[in-house]
Amino acid sequence: MNRSMSAQDTFGCALAELWARDGIVVDDSEALAHRVATLCASGDDGVKAASELLTRSGVRARWNETLRHDRAIALASRIRPLVAEPLLDVLAGDGSICHALSALGVSAMAATERCGDYETSLLPSHVAFRPFADDFDLSPFEASTALVSAVLHHEPDPVRLLCALAQAAIPRWIVVENCVTAAFSRPFHQLADRFFNTCLNQFGIPCADQHRTLNEWVDLLAGYGTVVVMEEDFVVPGIPFPYSLLVVDCDDRRAHQRC
């Protein structure tokens, strides 16, 4: 990415690159990608117009299938070796990662999500589900590992969620996050959130603007235990920016001081 470009232009280029990379074929893809980025950046009416463009072009349906299937498999293959069962998928979205982990042999698994945030669920029938409670009490799950995948940057108060993990005595946390970099700025990630939450689909997830660099994520998580960056800046299908994968082995004394 050209670091001198605006967030809007960078996002348009990222969309065009993603469609080409993931086989989402559309006529004049580069022009459509930049049109979608421009509309999405222009406000609520533009977001609606961009959403209609994506639907009419067929991009929306193919992209969502890539997210549900290929993205989930790519993440699950990285997460699986790190899991000590039972696993709790915290704010699990549509359940697609649980579905992929189940196919890889994770059997003792539970999930939680806010009611009404997702219209459809891909959770396997054997995965225990509870709505995410307003009191953030995760202790009933009795999990050994918590998966927190692309969640923290959406939370208005990520510290509250991290303290909930610590207070539930979940010893290992697997964290997947997108990170602010020179190529993918904070305004870029703000636009990407708006796009994924209100344009490509309409989710109840807030655009809380808790975006951080990798070092800032490590510093935040280190308040709760030992942090290891397992993989930095890797690309998965359906996502126009890289993720990083971190593991936190919780330290009760450190977490108690933090919370």
In a domain, 37, yes or no: no
In a domain, 61, yes or no: no
Q: Say if residue 156 is preceded by a cis peptide, omega within 30 of 0.
A: no
**Does the pLDDT of residue 2 top 60, yes or no?**
no
In a domain, 238, yes or no: yes
**Does the pLDDT of residue 78 top 70, yes or no?**
yes
CATH of the domain at 250: 3.40.50.150
Dihedral sign computed on CA atoms, order 242, 71, 97, 133:
positive
Q: Which domain holds residue 174?
A: 71-181+206-258
The pair of structure tokens assigned to 45 is 């009416």
- Given pLDDT bands bounded at 50, 70 and 90, which one contains residue 243? very high
% of the chain with per-residue pLDDT over 90: 85
Helix (H, G, I), strand (E, B), or coil: what is residue 133?
A: coil
The pLDDT value given to residue 7: 94
Helix (H, G, I), strand (E, B), or coil: what is residue 5?
A: coil
Tell me how many domains the chain contains: 1
In a domain, 162, yes or no: yes
% of the chain with per-residue pLDDT over 70: 96
In a domain, 56, yes or no: no
The pLDDT value given to residue 138: 95
pLDDT digits (tens, 9 = 90+) for 145-189: 999 999 999 999 999 999 999 999 999 999 999 999 999 999 999
**Does the pLDDT of residue 58 top 70, yes or no?**
yes
In a domain, 51, yes or no: no
| pTM for the predicted model, two decimal places | 0.95
Phi/psi region, residue 86 (left: phi>0; alpha: psi -120 to 50; beta: rest), is beta
**Does the pLDDT of residue 45 top 80, yes or no?**
yes
The pLDDT value given to residue 203: 77
pLDDT digits (tens, 9 = 90+) for 105-136: 999 999 999 877 677 789 999 999 999 988 99
* Count of C-beta atoms within a 10 Å radius of residue 80: 15
In a domain, 43, yes or no: no
Euclidean distance between CA atoms 248 and 163, whole angstroms: 13
In a domain, 65, yes or no: no
Alpha helices, DSSP H only, in 129-181?
Answer: 158-167
Closest CA to 203 of 188, 193, 191: 193
Q: Which residue has better confidence, 14 or 202? A: 14
**Does the pLDDT of residue 205 top 70, yes or no?**
no
The pLDDT value given to residue 121: 86
